[in-house]
Structure 1
Amino acid sequence: MAALVPAWQSSAFIQATLDCLSAQTYPHLEVIVSVDECSDSTYEICMAHAQKDSRFRVILQPHRLGYVGNCNFLLDQTDADYVLFAFHDDILKPEYIKLLTEVLDMRPEVVMSYSDVHLTNTNGTQEHWIFTELEGVRDPVQRGALMMSGSNKWWVPNRGLFRLNQARQINGLKTHRAGEFSADWPWLFHMSLLGEFARIPQTLCYKYYKPGSLSRSWEFSKRQRYEVYAAIMREIWISNLTTEQKMTLASPLARWLYQNNPDLKKEEK
């Protein structure tokens, strides 16, 4: 089991993340930290922690990889059966990995297990994130339709525990024509086509948005939303679904893309 930590410009808060990983009760844990090229002391903090906990391995990137590139780099650094992205602004309860691992051990049909998430925003306001829509859904087309609907908290499983072989099967995360905007959405969508998602109905993950957080820098514009849906369409066509299953998922999405194409609307004017 490997916890993968993509870190960047996080010297002010990453120590708490490292500490919570050291406190995990799961006995067979490897932690790999990839520090993307940055100008603060993130690397030095991580190295100091690794000297105290031999389960940690820290890699400094000489050139900026970005969020997607750093996550994919980490996926190539381990051969563990199960992995998770332990983001540098997330705090996990000590039993987090143990409980999520038990789900994957007991249920081979599950590709990703996750818990509920408690969020603290930069202004101090708080939210509770729960994603229940995929519970008990065995049909991959139905799971895919639910994952791409956008009317639920699809992003909650992104910090869950998943099977590495499946993540590699779909070539990890990918950028698209809007860059890294919601790049976790198409990858979670594709993962949902490969197997079931299982929720542990407990709050085991605490996320803290920080000033400068990547997702807080996005505009959440119509163009960005359009491009991420186009990326989901790409994942449909490269998946191992049957042609009929692909058409079932792709047809309503194609209509939405046509109706909301920003370039087409400009031409009509």
Structure 2
Amino acid sequence: MTINTYPLVSILIPTYNRPHYFQLALDSALAQTYPNIEIIIGDDSTDNKTQELIKQSYLPIYKNIVYIQNSVSLGQFQNGLLLFEKASGNYINYLMDDDLLHPDKIQKMMNLFLTDNSLSLVTSYRKLIDEKGEHIPDGPINIKLCEITTKLSGMDVGNQMLMNCCNYIGEPTTPLFKKEHLIEAFGTLNGREYNCCVDMASWIHLLSKGNLTYISEPLSYFRIHSGQQLQSNMKLLEGIEDLTHLITVSKNYGFLQNKTEYQKALQEVLQRILYAFQHYNKDMTDMIYQRLTQCVETVKIELQLLQNQLL
């Protein structure tokens, strides 16, 4: 078979001022065993270190790399959208610039797509690594979804994610998905751009379009390091607002049609909001208080409407 016989997969790498980690991520994309891949890089850096690295060591050798240096910093959200627009592949895999791919990741996931047209996305177990690339113990963020490779209903997985307010799919690096199924922009749901739960917004959208296969072996590596801001005061607030919106609009996508399941999801996000009130405590500002209060009111209205329906 020739390379063009295989559907094209686009690996999209948004990067910002991390040339060392970025090079490791790019090398893991280039090491893929799947034969038909384009790699599109969106460089949002404020210096030229990544540009020099790419132009000197990669572009003269690899013809499947497309390098975009943004003239002004777009920010992570807009940078990711630009890459998606530029992608020519039928399948998309984001690669965060500090993460890594297993060499067989795309090949093993594409094998599943090519034999099952009902799939909208394929994900896998992922390992956690530290700044040096050493494995670190599993935590709540990478709990194994299944002990063996398993096909699951997109609706069932989506409902579980919503009821537990938990991202079972993984970070943007983890899954491979069909481009044609993501009708709304990545990180957007029901017309709203998400600020924290960006990936969950798109996973819910994709799960509404088809099924999921979970591969039980680790095919990507999520790096935890000091340069990240995994949880800041503003991110906590934005995450609460995202979850509140996610739960309340997911019914438009076919999820949480069972009233008991919808009630469970609403109660779960309400607990998250109450935790946020306790978390802020002395750091509470009028702006944070008003935005959290709006989330409480939104959830309580939905719970009251639901209660009226159950009577």
**TM (normalized to structure 2)?**
0.72
- Aligned to 2:217, the other structure's residue is in SS state strand
1:75-224 matches, cutoff 5 A: 75-122=84-131, 126-128=136-138, 129-132=142-145, 135-138=150-153, 140=155, 142-150=156-164, 152-156=166-170, 158-159=172-173, 160-167=175-182, 169-174=183-188, 180-213=195-228, 215-216=229-230, 218-219=232-233, 223-224=237-238
User: Counterparts of 1:246 and 1:63 in 2: how far apart (Å)?
Assistant: 47
Offset from partner CA, 1:20-56 (integer Å, 9 cap, x none): 2111111111111111142351222233312221110
Going from structure 1 to structure 2, the CA distance change for 1:254 and 1:130 (only over 3 Å counts) comes to: closer
Amino acid of the structure 2 residue aligned with 1:104: F
User: Counterparts of 1:113 and 1:237 in 2: how far apart (Å)?
Assistant: 23
Check the 8 A contact 1:116/1:201 in 2, yes or no: yes
User: Counterparts of 1:181 and 1:132 in 2: how far apart (Å)?
Assistant: 22
Check the 8 A contact 1:68/1:174 in 2, yes or no: no
Q: Which residue of structure 2 aligns with residue 69 of structure 1?
A: 78
Check the 8 A contact 1:83/1:163 in 2, yes or no: yes
Going from structure 1 to structure 2, the CA distance change for 1:75 and 1:165 (only over 3 Å counts) comes to: same
Q: Which residue of structure 1 aligns with residue 286 of structure 2?
A: none
Q: Which residue of structure 2 aligns with residue 263 of structure 1?
A: 293
Q: Give ranges in structure 1 of 5+ residues lacking alignment.
A: none
Q: Which residue of structure 2 aligns with residue 245 of structure 1?
A: 257
User: Counterparts of 1:206 and 1:6 in 2: how far apart (Å)?
Assistant: 16
Identity of aligned residues (%): 18
Amino acid of the structure 1 residue aligned with 2:31: A
- The answer on 1:29 being equivalent to 2:29 is no
Q: Give ranges in structure 2 of 5+ residues lacking alignment.
A: 1-8, 275-291, 298-311
Going from structure 1 to structure 2, the CA distance change for 1:161 and 1:258 (only over 3 Å counts) comes to: closer
- The answer on 1:17 being equivalent to 2:25 is yes
Amino acid of the structure 2 residue aligned with 1:180: N
Shift in Å at residue 257 of structure 1?
5.5
User: Counterparts of 1:97 and 1:164 in 2: how far apart (Å)?
Assistant: 15
User: Counterparts of 1:236 and 1:66 in 2: how far apart (Å)?
Assistant: 27
User: Counterparts of 1:7 and 1:265 in 2: how far apart (Å)?
Assistant: 33
- Aligned to 1:212, the other structure's residue is in SS state coil
Q: Which residue of structure 2 aligns with residue 6 of structure 1?
A: 14
Shift in Å at residue 81 of structure 1?
1.0
Count the aligned residue pairs: 262
Going from structure 1 to structure 2, the CA distance change for 1:216 and 1:39 (only over 3 Å counts) comes to: farther
Shift in Å at residue 255 of structure 1?
5.3
Going from structure 1 to structure 2, the CA distance change for 1:200 and 1:99 (only over 3 Å counts) comes to: same
Shift in Å at residue 138 of structure 1?
2.3
**Which is worse superposed, 254-263 or 193-202?**
254-263
**Which is worse superposed, 223-232 or 68-77?**
223-232
**Which is worse superposed, 14-23 or 26-35?**
14-23
- Aligned to 1:231, the other structure's residue is in SS state helix
**TM (normalized to structure 1)?**
0.82
Going from structure 1 to structure 2, the CA distance change for 1:158 and 1:246 (only over 3 Å counts) comes to: farther
Check the 8 A contact 1:144/1:249 in 2, yes or no: no
Shift in Å at residue 263 of structure 1?
1.4
